[in-house]
Structure 1
Amino acid sequence: MSKRKTWGELRQRRLEKPAARAGYQHAQLAYELGRQVRELREARGLSQRELAERMHTTQSVIARLEGGGSKPSISTLERVAKALGTSVDIRFGSPVAAGY
């Protein structure tokens, strides 16, 4: 009889593969960007629709962005920042193993 693996064990095993790790890191970044946009929008008392109107886009675009389901360009992030009255600050973090 085999022992069932926990979600954490399965996740760790999958993340050993470089392609899976890269995909996970991308999803994590998209989610974090979306979380920050949502928090800024809510702090300013705006609905997704109101933010979309300020950006001349649709509410569904904002929903995808906030949910981490899109890969926004720098120009899109600049439009978000302008609509929210803030700036875009891009920086590099700690070094990670490159795998080569």
Structure 2
Amino acid sequence: MSERRSWDDLRNEALASPEAREAYDAARIRFELGAAVRERREALGMTQAQLAQVAGLLQPAIARFEAGGTMPTLPLLERLAVALGMRLRVGFEPLDRAS
């Protein structure tokens, strides 16, 4: 009988490839940005359509962004921040402290 491996072991093995690690990191960034916008929008009681209107976008663009489907530009992040009553802050963090 073969030994069963945990999900963590399989993921770590797959992410050993630099290309896979890069794609994983990009997906994580998209997901975290989308989740942050969705959480703030919901806290403000806004619909996707309302946020889109204030930010000068279309509702499907907000839906894709919140789902992590697009990598936003800094100007887009600025527009969303203003529409959500926030200030965009961009910075660098040492890898040993990154989540």
Counterparts of 1:29 and 1:56, CA distance in 2:
23
Aligned residue in 2 for 1:74:
74
Counterparts of 2:61 and 2:41, CA distance in 1:
14
The superposition leaves residues 13-70 of structure 1 with CA deviations (integer Å, 9 ceiling, x where unpaired) of 0111111111111111111111110111111110111001111211111111111110
Counterparts of 2:90 and 2:24, CA distance in 1:
20
5 Å matches for 1:1-100?
Answer: 1-95=1-95
Gaps of 5+ in 2: none
Q: CA RMSD in A?
A: 1.2
Counterparts of 1:78 and 1:24, CA distance in 2:
24
Gaps of 5+ in 1: none
Counterparts of 2:95 and 2:39, CA distance in 1:
27
Counterparts of 1:37 and 1:95, CA distance in 2:
24
TM-score computed with the length of structure 1 as normaliser: 0.89
The alignment partner of 1:51 has SS state of: helix
TM-score computed with the length of structure 2 as normaliser: 0.89
After alignment, is 69-78 or 87-96 more displaced? 87-96
Q: How many residues align?
A: 96
Counterparts of 2:69 and 2:20, CA distance in 1:
17
Pairwise CA distance, 1:78: 0.6
Pairwise CA distance, 1:5: 2.4
Counterparts of 2:42 and 2:71, CA distance in 1:
21
What percent identity do the matched residue pairs reach?
Answer: 43
